[in-house]
A and B are shown apart, each in its own frame.
Chain A
Amino acid sequence: MKRCDLNARIHQGLRFAACCCFLLLAAATPIVPLAAQPQSPRNYPTNMSLPQTIRGWTLSGPAKRVEPKAIFDYMDGAGEFYLAYRFEYLDVSEYKNPGQSDILVELYWMDSADDAYGLLSGDWGGDSVDLASTPTQASSATVRALYGAGLLRIWSGNLYARVLTYEETDAAKQAVMAIGRAIAAGRPEPEPPHLIQALPQAVGSSFSLRTDRTVYLRSHLVLNSAYFLSSENLLDLGLDCELAAAVYRRNGDGKPPKPVHVLVVRYPGEAEARRALAHFQRIYLSGKPAAAGDRGVVSIEDGWTGFILSGKGLGLVFEAPDEATARLFLDSSKQALDGVERLHER
């Protein structure tokens, strides 16, 4: 399934930026080839050498390696976010330029491209930027990097990168972008996770997917950050699961713009999916005897909620305005779950 039109429009609007990117890349000092690259189980490189100098900024020293066990020493209170995905380790570097703000570079090496995508998907805010160095790469409409107020975030294969200047000046921004291009250069550009690709762009004629609110995740902690469901792990999520949290806005029909929330989960097996549905029904739909079986809708305090089990997949609908809409979303969730299985079988 194609990515949304929104992303394509953003991309088209940034062709000028792409040209600037190319010029900036040419201005950077030669990039040290990727160092001896350890290969992850999926043949992704898990190491790189950053340019020693770039646009007047110089690396202050070798990268500091942060292993999962030590991540709380580096970022107490934020480490859980990265451990909620399949995190391998983090490399931290700093660029300095006398009289200018330092630039922090964080390279989060993940087990899979899906995990790195998940980190970017946690916040689609900022301007989409194209870091591609070749026309072939630039032809993709998929958002791979976002910039805002001095912070560049990149999804590049199994790598998620944050490049941050503490004070955004024109020079610092150009340096941040040049570092970003150096990071992305020559790296794989896979498609978004199958689960994301399988989400319908529209449901019926009234609802459209908000790609800028769609999050890919594996953990209930991240789910609660995207859409709070419960203080406990109600859907039995874990690193062997994947979930797409989607928001569908009502198209302009004069009705209140309350969105419908959809969670599509893929478990390692059918038994896990079934157990998770039972857990959800027992806790979240307690007091609702009609909420039984593999498929159903029920009216609760904030609208209609629905659930559907399909093989190793589970679809959940929240805050639908009426029963018919809830059932419509269940149908679309079923199609998405069937679609993701077909994508995985390719």
Chain B
Amino acid sequence: MSDDSSSLTRRDFVRGTVGAAVAASLLGNPLESSAGAAPKSYVTLVRNQGALNSGNDVNELVLGEMLTQVLRSVTGKADEVSAWRSLVKSDDIVGLVHTDHLNKTHPELIEAVKRSLKLAGIPEKNIWMVQGSPEKVKQCTALISLPALKAHWLTGIGTVFKNYICFNGSPSSYHDANNAKLGEIWNMPHVKGKTRLILVDALRPLCEKGPQPDPRYMWQYKGLIAGTDPVAVETVCLKIIMEKRQALRGEPWPLSPPPMVVEMADKQYGLGTSKLEEIRIVRTGWMEDALV
């Protein structure tokens, strides 16, 4: 930290005062993991070349298969029913939290999750759409986060932690530099401990200028990224965004401002790990240009 100030400066990043993932994002360095460390968290990546057609329409059959693969990979269970039953109870009120604004979560993914939950015995009346409603979240006993993968001009990345911004009832309190504190929402009493799965829609991510859609920076990644550690999932998402930026420009393209929310979620709020070397990525399916 800089003297006589709680602010972080560019020099702090260059010095290495902050975490590797965040520093690498700002300085345009590759975000690499060190070999040999024991994994603390697992993140599942499933991709399928048939998930989207050339017009960006979703193949729902393929997406359903991808969801099953995600659930089996995250839980280690043999089928999606067993997988869901290890994540939620049959009497849970399950809140689905999707991105409903600017580069939205694909509705086909939301429907696939609903169908799958019902198949696992969760009554339809107990599956709620809760984005933007802290009151509904209070009544939920389980949450499934369904953000869409995107860079964000104000926070660096606007995926996992940004997805809960409305749950404190005052999203404007996280504007400007306060966005680094988004992780604190996950520790609020009505949210803490309820998130059973983070399932990121990476079918067609946005790697720059988010959240407003800009097709120049959207590409068909055709993936789902999932896990139970929100920081680890966000870190893997960050790696993909960074790699895509470099690939687009053919030179280091720093993510600015740096995604401090990732660092804070790890170090200050204890929500998971942002160290890539502590994350094991479990890959399934098509891996060409996976970027991670």
Contact = CB atoms under 8 A, between A and B. Distances in A.
B175 A301 contact: no
A75 B208 CA distance: 16
B10 A80 contact: no
Contact of B171 (A76, A221, A318): A76
Contacts of B153: 78, 81, 225
Interface stretch (B62-70, B230-238, B255-263): B255-263
Interface stretch (B88-96, B211-219, B269-277): B211-219
B2 A284 contact: yes
A3 B254 CA distance: 27
Contacts of A226: 256
B5 interface: yes
A67 interface: no
B158 A232 contact: no
A221 B154 contact: yes
B256 A234 contact: no
A231 B102 contact: no
A72 B153 CA distance: 15
Interface in B1-47: 2-5, 7-11, 13-15, 26
Contact of A231 (B3, B15, B177, B208): B177
Interface string A107-148: 000000000000000110110000000000000000000001
Interface string A254-290: 0000000000000000000000000000111011000
B4 A78 contact: no
Interface string B85-123: 000000000000000011000000000000000000000
A1 interface: no
Contacts of A231: 7-9, 177, 180, 257, 260
A70 to B, nearest CB: 13
A151 interface: yes
A77 B154 contact: yes
A207 B212 CA distance: 34
A126 B212 contact: no
Interface string A36-74: 000000000000000000000000000000000000100
B56 A221 contact: no
Given A227-B256, A228-B258, A302 B14 contact: yes
B216 A149 contact: yes
Interface in B144-187: 152-155, 158, 162, 165, 171-172, 175-177, 180
A337 to B, nearest CB: 23
B255 to A, nearest CB: 9
A284 B260 CA distance: 18
Nearest to B172: A72
B138 interface: no
A165 B218 CA distance: 13
Interface residues of B, number: 45
B196 interface: no
B283 interface: no
B55 A300 contact: no
A96 to B, nearest CB: 17
B102 A77 contact: yes
Contacts of A125: 216
B11 A284 contact: yes
Contacts of B154: 77-78, 80-81, 221, 225
Contacts of A75: 101-102, 211-212
Nearest to B16: A301
Contacts of A162: 212
B72 interface: no
Contacts of B56: 167
A283 B5 contact: yes
B10 A76 contact: no
B2 to A, nearest CB: 5
A168 interface: yes
Given A151-B216, A224-B257, A226-B256, A80 B176 contact: yes
A206 to B, nearest CB: 19
Contact of A78 (B5, B26, B211): B211
B209 interface: yes
24 contacts: A72-B171, A72-B172, A75-B102, A75-B212, A77-B154, A78-B102, A78-B153, A78-B211, A126-B216, A151-B215, A164-B215, A225-B256, A227-B256, A228-B256, A230-B2, A231-B7, A232-B7, A284-B2, A284-B10, A286-B3, A300-B14, A301-B14, A302-B10, A302-B11
Given A72-B171, A228-B258, A318-B10, 15 more contacts: A72-B172, A78-B210, A80-B176, A81-B153, A123-B208, A148-B215, A164-B215, A221-B154, A224-B256, A227-B256, A232-B5, A283-B9, A284-B2, A287-B3, A301-B15
